[in-house]
Chains A and B, each alone.
Chain A
Amino acid sequence: MKKSEVAKLHFPRRFSAGTVAKKTVVYVVLIALCLAFIVPYLWMIVTSLRTEMAYNSTGFTLLPIDEYGNISFHFENYSEAFSALDLGTVFLNTMIVCVVNTVANLFLNSLAAYAFARLKFFGRNSVFRVCLFSMMVPGTVMLVPNYLICDFLGITDSLTALIMPFLMSIYNIFLLRQQFLGVDKEIEEAAKIEGAGVFRIYFRIVLPLVKPMLIVLGITTFMWNYSNYLWPYIVNTDPALRTLSTSLAELMGADYDLTVKLAGAVIVSAPMIIIFFVLQKFIIGGTMAGAVKG
């Protein structure tokens, strides 16, 4: 008789020694993996509170100690990063771009996705297929031509140039269409009989049903625009039009102490991480739900 089978005979399953050992191994592995995620962030935050001198003269530490081993916090790194990033202007720019793009994306994408999922009109599938086809085009193809187009439209050197090219997303339309296809048709039929117009059915009835997906897409769209890096560089050069991402890249390229650079990285990444912690239930739940249905 095998050892595990003996255990099974003598103990109720959930208390068996083997299970406890296995669970321990699982926890150890997961916690070790967790450390690989927490330590870098912790290190970044701690180092951003030290001086470069202290950093250079000590070995590995996760405590904000100075060169003599005493705990000390150097918030002046943050004030320097604040002014280097030109945070006020840059934060406002980023928020304008992200909010407009997120709202526009959710509305316009869902509008198109609903049409592709539910409305019957001439050429629907062909249009959809052409759009899907464009999803395969790598983003780098677009950089130069899009600059030429924005130049032609006269919107370079403005926040509009960060908004217009990203007002919609074919990929999000694709995901939303899948969601709409999964919505029970009967609800819509009932509303139609009651005399509701197409737009009202879409906006008042179907859209609320896919709310979890909308939240996920909203977050990812927001995040994507928040992180967008190459394009803003190409299209806007005026420092007054920088976004958090480009401003951080500028900080990284200039001659600052490493501690100030890390302070900048903390400042720029903090808002998204905070939003994530606040909305994590929706984000994690929605991503998982989207994985199944999408």
Chain B
Amino acid sequence: MKRNILKAAVALALGGCIAGSFAACGGSGGDDNTITFYHYAVTSALNTQLEEKLADFTEQTGINVRHIPVSKDNYNATISTRFTSSRNDMDVLYLDQPLLAQYANSNLLLNLDDYITQSSEDSETVAADNEAGFAFNQNAFNSSAWETTVYNGSVYGIPLTINTSVLFYNVATIREACGYSSDEEAIAAVNAIKTWDDLKQFASQIDGLGSTYALFGGMGSGGYMGWYTQCFVGASGGKLYDDATKTVLPNDDGTITDAFEMIKYMFDNSPEEIYNSNSGFTGTTGDPSGNVIFSLSHSSDIKDLDVAYTTFGAIPFPGKTEEIGSVSNIGGENLVIPSRSENKEAALKLIQYLVSEDCMAFFQQCTNNFAAVDKYATIDTFTTDTTSPTYQMYSVVKTQLETAQVRPVVAGWMQVNDNGIPTNLDNYIDGLKTVDEAISDIRTYAAQYLNN
């Protein structure tokens, strides 16, 4: 008797558990009035805010939003896997800028051309546009950000938040390294840097550059290095890719060579063991000056530079010459709709809502990036104290965004950005390749991936 009970118990437990877990599935999807929104994960406090925003949206439109936060590290892998599924559960998603071309090229994204207008922003025009079925006005967005969404002449996404790179500095470090007597003097000297020659001139007055001090904190590796390369190439007056002639690293005018040489100059004066230590740039409470003069980075870092023990500041990324002026790169996220979404109208409405004034400040706060809609890109979200260094740094980033240049929106550029450029640039910096070899090797690499 006892034996059978035992046997039955095991069978029951097993069967029950399996059946139970089966029952746990299902539920999602299939609902006409529910759309799914994939986005980067945020802290739980911000997540609560996002849910409130989405609840407001539901109240306004009657559309339910199921939102799926995924951490940045796993985001791209997660959504790409979802595209291989036979069923679609994505209606609106964040998409990293360099991936847009890849997805658009694979016909996975909805072409938004029909919903875009280019008109002035007065309320009458907006109302008329809405009447006519245009959901978005291109002129309202940062123009470089907009370019990141255009693939082969068609719009595949709506920019949400944007970011760009500038040079950050630690006043205590500058003062110590250059021997200035006051903070003001140090700040003035740094802010006088407008061109690459100025930068070199400035560097030449630093005792122990390359031994005690590193000129900058490097360019990261992999994809980051590819992204920062855009700064140098843009600032030297060139571009990474010429759409018209389909040339990678067009170098007839020597702009690429100049950019690469400038990168090498920066690295040659920046020993890795100095910049690869954290306090190298930020200093510490006890010793506010670090050993890294500049940090080429973006606005996400500013919140970490809000410290009591020293002052940080930022200058725009200098151009090669004064005529070219300051130019930098652009990064950030776009919102896209998968072409197989069954609820495109609702998805469009959600995107409209997400780029509205209601949400933009919130996304600025989440990402520490600026809103892609020009009029909502305000520093107030980050700080209201206009005299604070934080405000200064954000305002430099904001100004820099006006001259930020987009990376090539070409399918396959992602691999060039992640591997082709950093690997060869590294080899050139380490002296394993000449600048011409590095450029031609990047071209050869790119030819393998850019098949158009």
Contact = CB atoms under 8 A, between A and B. Distances in A.
Question: CB atoms of A and B under 8 A apart anywhere in the complex?
Answer: yes
Contact of A163 (B13, B18, B28, B41): B18
B43 A254 contact: yes
B81 A234 contact: yes
B85 interface: yes
B7 to A, nearest CB: 7
A172 interface: no
A237 B78 contact: yes
A147 B83 CA distance: 12
A253 B71 CA distance: 5
B305 to A, nearest CB: 13
B243 to A, nearest CB: 34
A239 B42 contact: no
Contact of A249 (B71, B82, B87, B285): B71
Interface in A124-164: 144, 147-148, 151-152, 154-161, 163
Nearest to A86: B44
B75 to A, nearest CB: 9
A109 to B, nearest CB: 13
A159 B13 CA distance: 16
Interface stretch (B19-27, B220-228, B251-259): B19-27
A188 interface: no
Contacts of B55: none
A7 interface: no
Nearest to B28: A157
A157 B44 contact: no
A161 B25 CA distance: 9
B17 interface: yes
Interface string A48-86: 000000001100000000000000000000001001100
B122 interface: no
Contact of B41 (A57, A161, A204, A254): A254
B85 A160 contact: no
Contacts of A159: 21, 24-25
B21 A252 contact: no
A255 B124 CA distance: 41
Contacts of A250: 41, 69-71
B73 interface: yes
Contacts of B85: 147, 151, 156
B68 interface: yes
A203 B20 contact: no
Contact of B43 (A100, A237, A256): A256
A84 B78 contact: no
A204 B17 CA distance: 23
B249 to A, nearest CB: 33
Given A104-B14, A148-B84, A254 B21 contact: no
A103 B17 contact: yes
B30 to A, nearest CB: 12
Contacts of A200: 3
Contacts of B81: 144, 147, 234
A282 interface: no
Interface in B28-42: 28, 38, 41-42
A44 interface: no
B10 interface: yes
Interface in A35-53: none
A56 B71 contact: no
Contacts of A156: 85
Nearest to A246: B74
B42 A100 contact: no
A181 interface: no
A155 B22 CA distance: 8
Contacts of A253: 41, 71-74
A203 B7 contact: yes
A238 B87 CA distance: 15
B22 A160 contact: yes
Contacts of B78: 233-234, 237
B333 interface: no
Nearest to B22: A160
B426 to A, nearest CB: 26
Given A80-B44, A107-B14, A255-B42, A157 B89 contact: yes
B244 interface: no
Given A103-B14, A151-B85, A237-B38, A163 B25 contact: no
Interface string B54-76: 00000000000000111111100
Contact of A158 (B26, B38, B71, B89): B26
Contact of A96 (B7, B10, B20, B25): B20
B68 A238 contact: yes
B77 interface: yes
17 contacts: A144-B84, A154-B25, A158-B24, A159-B21, A159-B24, A160-B24, A160-B25, A163-B18, A204-B3, A233-B74, A233-B77, A234-B77, A234-B78, A237-B89, A252-B71, A253-B74, A254-B71
Interface of B: 3, 7, 10, 13-14, 17-18, 20-22, 24-26, 28, 38, 41-44, 68-74, 77-78, 81-82, 84-87, 89, 284-285
Given A237-B38, A253-B41, A253-B71, 16 more contacts: A83-B44, A84-B43, A84-B44, A103-B10, A103-B13, A103-B17, A147-B81, A148-B84, A151-B87, A155-B22, A158-B21, A158-B26, A200-B3, A233-B74, A238-B68, A249-B74
